[in-house]
Structure formats: C-alpha cells, structure tokens
Amino acid sequence: MNTIICGVDVSKGWLDAHVEPCGAASRFANDAAGVANLAVWCQGHDVELVVMEASGGYERMAFLLLWEIGQPCSMANARSVRYFAEAMGFLEKTDRIDAAMIAR
C-alpha cells in the first residue's frame, strides 16, 4: 500500500509542495491564506501526510494551521533532506527539488 505524502520546502515567503507518488507540484505563499490553499490542494490529492523541512521557524505557522484542521504533519531535518538528495544524485539545490526529496 502506498502512502500519499506531500513534501513541503519552507522558506520565508513560500511553501513549495510536491506530492508523491503522483508528482504534482505547486507553490503557495507562506501566510495563512497560502496554508489554506495548500490544505485544499492536499485534500484534492488525497494526501495522508505532509512532511515539512524544519526551516528556522518559518515552518511553524504552516505546521500548526495544517495540524489544527486535522491534516497529519511531520518535520524533516534539513541536513538529512540534503544528504538524501545528494545520495539520489541531485547535487543542485532548488526549492522544487527539495520538496520532491522531502516527499520521497
């Protein structure tokens, strides 16, 4: 059984999201309205778990707002995500690539 996971790369202004296994990707503002849009987008893709990269506190609001509406969430260590991406052969670092690696 496959679990549908949404990986989210968090920055001050943006939430870059990627859903596995379907490969859908999108970008949302890192504010309350953007998190609400992310939640609707995740529901539309039947996401079972949202995994966010811990990003110096910029992830806190998104995590809490998603958790409050009942969307299961977790945090991933940013260094571990980078090591995993490098092990998978992705040496460049972009928000979109990081979101995909978090989802995987």
Looking at the predicted structure, is the pLDDT value of residue 85 above 70?
yes
- For 79, phi then psi, to 5°, come to -65, -40
d(CA 43, CA 55): 24
- Please compute the mean of the pLDDT values over residues 30-48 and round it to a whole number: 96
| Residues, the chain | 104
* 5-103 is a CATH 3.30.420.140 domain: yes
Whether residue 2 is predicted with pLDDT greater than 80 in this model: the reply is no
Which DSSP category does 10 fall into?
E
Instruction: Of 32, 28, 2, give the one whose Cα is nearest residue 99.
Output: 28
Q: Span 93-97, mean pLDDT?
A: 82
The pLDDT assigned to 1 comes to 53
pLDDT at 68 over 70: yes
Query: Measured between alpha carbons, how far is residue 51 from residues 15, 75, 84, 91 in Å?
Result: 12, 6, 15, 21
| pLDDT value of position 54 | 84
